[in-house]
């Protein structure tokens, strides 16, 4: 069976399961009154069901399961790492679904994120063929950098937890987090799929297309005006999956940084801004770029369109730029563009704040 057909079947499975499950989750949330309530810092003005992300997760799980029944060549090391990804993702979704329904305080929530990331990282202590860890990466002007195991473990946990929160903090408008994650998943798929026949990277491309299909099945219900939102269970799962997939087949840090650069840089900027103003980084406000663009007069679809276009442009550059140095310049250009936009928007309206994120 040709690789493109396998990829199409996996993506279609993820889309179908997600598309069919999300309405059922919406009905369940309406019956159990599991709503995300409006407040002065939220965009939506009516209560919305907030467990839609579970549908994305189930679509992804179903598609990965189907892939094992298809003729995909896998090495044992890949099977073990995929199992770790699925176990870690299940833990993330379970914890964050509890947070969506009951609520978890910020510090315990962060600790649980670290624990979930550690699940896929800590097995590395059994030997070099175990766990999902960034042990080396290609740095501009330097070449391959090898990390001591202790630093590699800490860096990988930081990478996964950071991506989880970057996606979660971008989930402020209808369809925004899902659209960014969809484009990034497609970029990872293209990066790993178009390689010589028989290259084991095809296994990783299957994971990326499964994630993209699951997101695509959810988005019709989440585009403005949305009838359901993904909640922390969905946003944290997307961040966890993207971070792990980018590492599981060899570090795709530069590609992922460019594809996810806007939410990552926005998260970093917001944290720095809050700390510099003597506030906790988890005190929620309308300082995120998507809030500022909305306050500047753009509609939700226009803001999402801007993010989608920028994510696609920088994601394409990660595929087309020929060297590590040029990709670094691309990331620096993105940071500069974001800084100029935020500086201009910061002069237009003061930031509102009052609750934890």
pLDDT digits (tens, 9 = 90+) for 164-197: 999 999 998 999 999 999 999 999 999 888 764 4
| pLDDT of residue 199 exceeding 60 | no
How many CA atoms are closer than 13 Å to the CA of 310, on its beta-carbon side? 23
Model confidence, pTM: 0.90
pLDDT range class, residue 140, cuts 50, 70, 90: low
Neighbour-count burial of 150, counting CB atoms closer than 10 A to its CB (0-12 exposed, 13-18 middle, 19+ buried): exposed
What pLDDT was estimated at residue 75? Answer: 60
3 contacts 202 by C-beta, under 8 angstroms:
yes
Cα gap 190→312, rounded to integer Å: 12
- Mean pLDDT computed over 24-28: 96
Cα gap 143→139, rounded to integer Å: 5
User: What count of other Cβ atoms lies within 10 Å of the Cβ of residue 253?
Assistant: 18
Mean confidence (pLDDT) of the chain: 86
Residues contacting residue 322 through CB under 8 Å, at least 6 positions apart: none
- Mean pLDDT computed over 112-130: 89
Q: Could you tell me how many residues make up the chain?
A: 357
Task: Give me the sign of the Cα torsion angle 317, 170, 350, 44.
Answer: positive
What pLDDT was estimated at residue 76? Answer: 62
For 254-309, the pLDDT digits (tens) are 788 888 888 888 888 888 888 888 888 877 777 788 888 888 888 999 999 989 98
| pLDDT of residue 41 exceeding 60 | yes
What pLDDT was estimated at residue 280? Answer: 80
* In the chain, where the domains are located: 3-251
What pLDDT was estimated at residue 292? Answer: 83
| pLDDT of residue 126 exceeding 90 | no
Which range in 66-75, 264-273, 339-348 is most confidently predicted, on average pLDDT? 264-273
| pLDDT of residue 113 exceeding 90 | yes
Q: Tell me which residue of 156, 161, 51 sits closest to 112, measured CA to CA.
A: 161
Q: Tell me which residue of 164, 87, 94, 91 sits closest to 132, measured CA to CA.
A: 87
Torsion of CA 157, 160, 162, 168, to 10 degrees: -140
| CA triple 40-42-46, angle to 5 deg | 95
For 236-246, the pLDDT digits (tens) are 999 999 999 99
């Amino acid at each position: 069976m040709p690789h493109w057909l396998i990829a199409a079947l996996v993506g279609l499975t993820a889309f179908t399961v997600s598309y069919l499950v999300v309405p059922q989750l919406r009905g369940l949330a309406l019956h159990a009154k599991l709503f995300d309530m409006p407040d002065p810092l939220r965009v939506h003005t009516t209560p919305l069901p907030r467990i839609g992300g579970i549908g994305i997760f189930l679509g992804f799980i179903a598609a990965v399961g189907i892939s094992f029944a298809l003729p995909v060549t896998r090495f044992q090391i890949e099977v073990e790492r995929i199992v770790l990804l699925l176990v870690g993702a299940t833990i993330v979704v379970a914890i964050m679904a509890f947070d969506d329904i009951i609520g978890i305080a910020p510090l315990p929530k962060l600790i649980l994120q670290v624990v979930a990331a550690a699940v896929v990282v800590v097995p590395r202590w059994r030997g070099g063929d175990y766990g999902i860890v960034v042990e080396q990466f290609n740095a501009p002007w330097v070449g391959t950098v090898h990390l001591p195991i202790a630093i590699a473990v800490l860096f990988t946990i930081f990478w996964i937890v950071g991506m989880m929160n970057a996606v979660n903090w971008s989930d402020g408008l209808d369809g925004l987090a899902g659209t960014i994650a969809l484009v990034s998943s497609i970029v990872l798929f293209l990066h790993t799929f178009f390689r010589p026949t028989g290259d084991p990277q095809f296994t990783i491309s299957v994971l990326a297309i499964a994630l993209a299909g699951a997101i695509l099945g959810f988005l019709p219900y989440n585009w403005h005006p949305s009838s359901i939102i993904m909640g922390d269970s969905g946003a944290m799962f997307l961040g966890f999956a993207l971070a792990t997939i980018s590492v599981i087949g060899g570090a795709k840090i530069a590609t992922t940084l460019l594809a996810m650069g806007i939410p990552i840089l926005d998260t970093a900027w917001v944290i720095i801004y809050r700390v510099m103003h003597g506030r906790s980084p988890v005190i929620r406000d309308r300082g995120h770029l998507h809030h500022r663009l909305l306050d500047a007069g753009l509609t939700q679809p226009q803001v999402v369109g801007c993010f989608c276009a920028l994510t696609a442009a920088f994601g394409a550059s990660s595929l087309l730029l020929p060297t590590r140095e040029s990709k670094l310049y691309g990331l620096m250009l993105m940071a500069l563009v974001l800084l100029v936009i935020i500086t201009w928007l910061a002069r237009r309206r003061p930031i509102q704040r009052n609750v934890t994120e």
